Amino acid sequence: MSKPETTVCAYIGLGSNLADPVAQLRAGVSSLARLEQTHVEVCSSFYRTAPVGRLEQPDFINAVCRVRTGQAPSTLMRNLLEIEHVHGRVRKGDKGGPRTLDLDLLLYGDRAIHTAELTVPHPRLHERAFVLYPLQEIEPDLVIPGRGALRELLPACAGQRVERLRD
């Protein structure tokens, strides 16, 4: 008798503000769908959002995908970084700057992970409208481990500009 595969529900944030951001997100979702042991269950709409931190840059296009994966969190994160690299992302340690494609592992089941390479839940997801609004669209009753119910976190982000794009 074969052992059933164990999978985990994970949420991945996507963002871009360079080189045709809508096309970058579409390509990012396609790349996620090709990952081994990973199935994209649902993706949010795309949202145009104001930059956070460094304001002198183009608006971002953001989305969130829920995936079911058999990959360990560290393996999944390495694969996300590789997808970014393939799509032209250059990481220079400059957080919040322009990028072709950004993929963040937001949540991995209900696990809290704190290693040198990875922090899950993503450390600022509860403060970011560009993450919370797409999450709300696909999982309105979601509870963020260590932070609380998604619907309780949204009011703190009310001043951040977020516009859902039409399909």
What whole-number distance in Å separates Cα of residue 136 and Cα of residue 12?
Answer: 13
- Residues 131/47, Cβ–Cβ less than 8 Å: no
Catalytic residue among 104, 111, 128, 147: 104
- Do strands 60-69 and 8-16 pair parallel, antiparallel, or not at all (unpaired)? antiparallel
**How far is residue 59's CA from residue 151's CA, in Å, rounded to a whole number?**
25
Q: Amino acid identity, residue 90? A: V
Q: Are 149 and 122 in contact (CB under 8 A)?
A: no
Rounded CA separation 152/136 (Å): 11
Question: 77 by DSSP, 3-state: which?
Answer: helix
Please identify which of the residues 48, 66, 102, 128 carries the catalytic annotation. 102
User: Does 89 qualify as catalytic in the annotation?
Assistant: yes
Query: Which of 48, 89, 141, 164 is labelled catalytic?
Result: 89
Is residue 110 among the annotated active site residues? no
Active site members: 89, 99, 102, 104
